[in-house]
Amino acid sequence: MPRTTRITVMLLFAAWVVDYIDRTVINFALSRIGEDLHLDHTQQGLLISTFFVAYAAVQLPAGLLADRYGAMRMAVIGLFAWSIFTGLTAIAWSFTVMLAMRFLFGLVQGVFPAAAIKALAERSHPEHRTTATGWTNASNAVGILLAAVIAGILIPTVGWRIMFAVISILGVAVILAWKRWMPDPLPQPEIQVADAPPAAERRAVLRSPALLGFAVIFFGYDALIWGVTAWTPTFLQEERGITVAMVAVAAAPSTLAAAVGVVLGARLSDRLGGHPRIIVIPSMAATAVLLFALPRVDAFPLFVILGTTMTFIAGLTLMPAFSVPLRALPTTYIGAASGIILFGGQLAGVLSPLAFGAITDHASYTRAFELMAVGPLLAIIAAALVPQTAEAFHASVAPRIKAALPAIEGSSNDSRDMSTGR
């Protein structure tokens, strides 16, 4: 990869680490927050899900804003604003206030992902984009690990409120690093999906079943990740009697394995030139099997081993959800395209933690873990159906672009007639 790409990866890696610390540290504080604010499991799940309601809702608008106003500008706005709301979480005095804080936090943090993907695409070549994006997404696991360490140290010593106040300053440090070291974009090759005006091409691609299929893969992956990640700390504390500190220690191998899986899945995707079904189908099938085993394991060390294996295998699936669109699409609207795929994952983030908590209240943790297997099943189906290469993606959307051209040309002719009086 060019030096510009490597520097961008490092700087975005730092931002994503802060992103995941700020959004996932609540998972480790959920039990204490529940005690302080007198919340049941469904309400605790709603605190996780309300973040994703806002986060998901803003994905497509955020991608459009990044395409229009610039990726780095929108990324800085998002990072600064979410740092403010991370700090304000510390003052929440009721369930309603905490719910509002989490919603606003999700709204402003949701501006960041599509902008970050676009910023990296502008500073990398198409054949390297999936690998480069995989490296930045490996930061997610690092952020979760650091969130566990921070929570394990600060919650027992100073409490969850002070913890949120402390971590809110991390985003400012990243913004200062961006201002100092972020390189300019690289010259990009011209990529045209079809012989059509750019507006027609963009509209047809963003509405295509092919792109929606990749959003479904990401939905399936995130339904598993956010349901299990959000509730495993509370499950271990309530069902196995494990302390917060021990949960934090146990999170280390699992999150590091996830990071390795993400990078490996990205690298394989670039080597294969796409072909997501080769990676997604076997990895998601194995993950679904492990979901049924996890809640039935009583020995804590074995639980950690199985959980680590599962997160590694699941991590392989993350970047194949983006691999073909990143190779196939021009940077001019890759922000909006990424926003659509990201929306699929964040919609899963809305549904799976809430469903996990509700099923735990009305049935059991075991049934809740089993429900998460719906995500891998959906990812498998979508991976089998989506275009497997950039060329196949172009071929799949070309008829839609062609079908849209008469309407666009007619509209243009009408406008000319009106302007000339003919």
Burial 91-115 (b: 16+ CB within 10 A, else e): ebeebeebbebbbbbbbbbbbbbbb
Residue 194: predicted pLDDT: 55
Residue 288: predicted pLDDT: 92
Give, in order, the Cα–Cα distances in Å from 266 to each of 122, 144, 214, 341, 357.
18, 19, 15, 16, 32
Q: Is 347 helix (H, G, I), strand (E, B) or coil?
A: helix
Per-residue tokens: 88: 């304000």
Q: Is 159 helix (H, G, I), strand (E, B) or coil?
A: coil
Amino acid code (one letter) for 92: A
Contact indicator for 183, 4 with CB cutoff of 8 Å: yes
189: alpha, beta or left? (left if phi > 0; alpha if psi -120 to 50): beta
Unique residue bearing structure tokens 């961006």 = 178
Contact indicator for 175, 80 with CB cutoff of 8 Å: yes
Per-residue pLDDT of the chain (422 residues; tens, 9 = 90+): 788 999 999 999 999 999 888 888 887 787 788 778 887 777 777 787 788 788 888 888 888 898 888 889 999 998 999 888 888 888 888 888 888 888 898 888 888 888 998 899 888 887 788 888 888 888 877 887 788 788 888 888 888 888 888 888 888 899 999 988 988 887 766 655 555 556 667 777 888 888 999 999 999 998 888 788 778 888 888 888 887 777 777 777 887 888 899 999 999 998 998 899 999 999 999 999 999 998 888 888 898 899 899 989 999 999 999 989 888 887 777 888 888 898 888 788 778 887 888 888 888 888 888 888 899 999 999 999 999 998 898 888 877 777 766 554 554 444 444 344 33
Among residues 85, 103, 109, the alpha carbon closest in space to that of 168 is found at: 85
Contact indicator for 22, 171 with CB cutoff of 8 Å: yes
Residue 378: predicted pLDDT: 94
Contacts of residue 164, defined as CB under 8 A and 6 or more positions apart, other chains included, come to 25, 86, 87, 89, 90
- Calculated CA dihedral for residues 262, 152, 76, 101, nearest 10 degrees: 110
Residue 185: predicted pLDDT: 83
Residue 420: predicted pLDDT: 40
Taking the alpha carbons at both ends of the chain, their separation in whole angstroms is: 55
Separation CA 232–CA 226 (nearest Å) = 10
Residue 417: predicted pLDDT: 47
Contacts of residue 317, defined as CB under 8 A and 6 or more positions apart, other chains included, come to 217, 220, 221, 265, 279, 280, 283, 284, 287, 379
Residue 419: predicted pLDDT: 41
211: alpha, beta or left? (left if phi > 0; alpha if psi -120 to 50): alpha
Residue 418: predicted pLDDT: 35
Among residues 189, 194, 139, 148, the alpha carbon closest in space to that of 167 is found at: 148
Give, in order, the Cα–Cα distances in Å from 194 to each of 41, 245, 263.
50, 55, 31
**Number of C-beta neighbours around residue 73 at 10 A:** 14
Please tell me the pTM assigned to this model.
0.78
